[in-house]
Chain A
Amino acid sequence: MHPFEYLRPSTLADALQAGAAGGYLAGGMTLLPSMKLRLSNPARLVDLGAIGELAGLTVTPESVVIGAMTRHADVAASAELRRVLPALAELAGGIGDPLVRNRGTIGGSIANNDPSADYPGAVLALGATVVTDRREIPGERFFTGMFSTALAAGELITRVRFPYPERAAYEKFPSPASRYAMVGVFVADFGGRVRVAVTGAAACVFRWTEAEQALSRHFTAESLAGLAVDGAQYNQDLHGSAEYRASLLPVIARRAVARALARG
């Protein structure tokens, strides 16, 4: 790791002032390994770990609001969330492993926008709103490409607001080694208006519009039969070819629909 200046502010205001000239450290589950490999070399690191106001989960009649520093384990364990939006709690409970879930945060995950991360699928499929220190960014416009987002330099996610679908589910096929999604599919049915987000398959999370149209007509796994998948631009790595990911997509999507239906 290259040397850096370390700051641990206890208020959001202090963090924003310090963060204007540095990088933020949330759970560190990606950033610290990247710094060890010297792929990331921030001159100043602003640790958000002591800012209590950034963590917590609030359920309101319209939406669930999750603070940026809320750990995956806490999202997964929330009895309230399991009642109002179980798909999101299940997604959080399947990220990495229990030790990673005890440190990793929702804000860190979506700000990093790893092509294989799970949370971006939920943000896009549910049409969540990413709230920062200076504005609200619709989920559709937040993820702009591989490891890139609409966040400006120094801009900090404070919370994410998820509306409630009538039913939803997330399914993924994790790499046996890394546990990252080779293909992950989040389906959300907003009363006949269905949104399908795909993570892991391509450089950035995306919506599968053909599947959305088919599922909006009939929300059944069979509706997805025969849909063409153009995997020409899909990820190709040691875990699998682009063709393999393209053939996984409809399988995982069917499982996600079946899981949403099984919830009743």
Chain B
Amino acid sequence: MSTPISMNVNGRTVSMALDPRMLLVDFLRVGLHLTGTHVGCDTSQCGACVVHVDGRAVKSCTMLAVQAEGANVTTIEGLAPAGGLHPLQEAFNVCHGLQCGFCTPGMIMTAVDLLRRNPDPTEHEVREGLEGNICRCTGYQNIVKSILHAAAAMRASPTAA
């Protein structure tokens, strides 16, 4: 049993027929080889699989690929033009916002949505905004610092994002 789908992933239209059981994260990783999106817990708790669907950060392990029919999907690979870095990616680099790096794509995709809704968050608001993302290295201090750093950079230069 397969269902035809068509969606836009990182600016590219993809159309194919899928088993409706396929999760969006598996479609991205296995179907499109976009392995920047990670599977951590596979139980909608850790946030390593966060991508944007029509501009909203969602856990792609808890969404069927067929539910993204007609949607615009952005993964970590599509955040910045080839060879460039998004201000948040830049900030995670500058502020040492990662240790093992497994949670990083999800942290960044969540943070992009957070800063879109709230361009000037307090540290407390950043921590609340990361409620659905877990870093098993417990590197939260620098993750929060990175997001605040990026927020300041993006306010100073709004076109950079």
Contact = CB atoms under 8 A, between A and B. Distances in A.
A253 B1 CA distance: 51
Contacts of B132: 96-100
B21 A3 contact: yes
A240 interface: no
A28 B1 contact: no
Chain B CB within 10 Å, residue with most, of A45, A73, A77, A99: A99
A36 B59 contact: no
Interface of A: 1, 3-6, 8, 25, 28-29, 32-33, 36, 45, 47, 49-50, 73, 77, 96-100, 102-103, 179
13 contacts: A1-B21, A4-B20, A5-B1, A5-B20, A6-B3, A28-B64, A96-B132, A98-B113, A98-B129, A98-B131, A99-B57, A99-B133, A100-B59
Contacts of A97: 47, 131-133
A51 B69 CA distance: 13
B59 A99 contact: yes
Contact of A103 (B1, B62, B69): B62
B146 to A, nearest CB: 17
B114 interface: yes
Interface in B17-32: 19-21
B43 interface: yes
Interface in B48-91: 50, 56-59, 62-64, 66-67, 69-70
Interface residues of B, number: 29
B44 interface: yes
Nearest to B21: A1
Interface in B82-139: 110, 113-114, 117, 129, 131-133
Contacts of A4: 20-21
Given A3-B21, A33-B44, A45-B20, A99 B110 contact: yes
Contacts, number: 70
A100 B59 CA distance: 7
A28 B58 CA distance: 12
A98 B130 CA distance: 8
A47 B66 contact: yes
9 cross-chain pairs, A with B, having the tightest CB-CB distances, nearest first: A97-B132, A6-B20, A97-B131, A99-B132, A102-B56, A1-B21, A99-B59, A32-B62, A102-B58
A32 B114 CA distance: 25
Contact of A33 (B50, B62, B70, B133): B62
A102 B62 contact: no
Contact of B44 (A3, A77, A98, A100): A100
B69 A3 contact: no
Contacts of B67: 25, 28, 47, 49
B18 to A, nearest CB: 9
A48 to B, nearest CB: 10
Nearest to B5: A8
Contacts of B1: 3, 5
A6 B57 contact: no
A28 B20 CA distance: 14
Contacts of B114: 98
Listed residue (B3, B42, B57, B62) with the most chain A CB atoms within 10 angstroms of its CB: B62
B144 to A, nearest CB: 15
A33 B21 contact: no
Given A1-B21, A6-B64, A99-B47, 13 more contacts: A6-B20, A8-B66, A32-B63, A33-B44, A36-B42, A49-B67, A77-B117, A96-B132, A99-B50, A99-B59, A102-B56, A102-B57, A102-B58
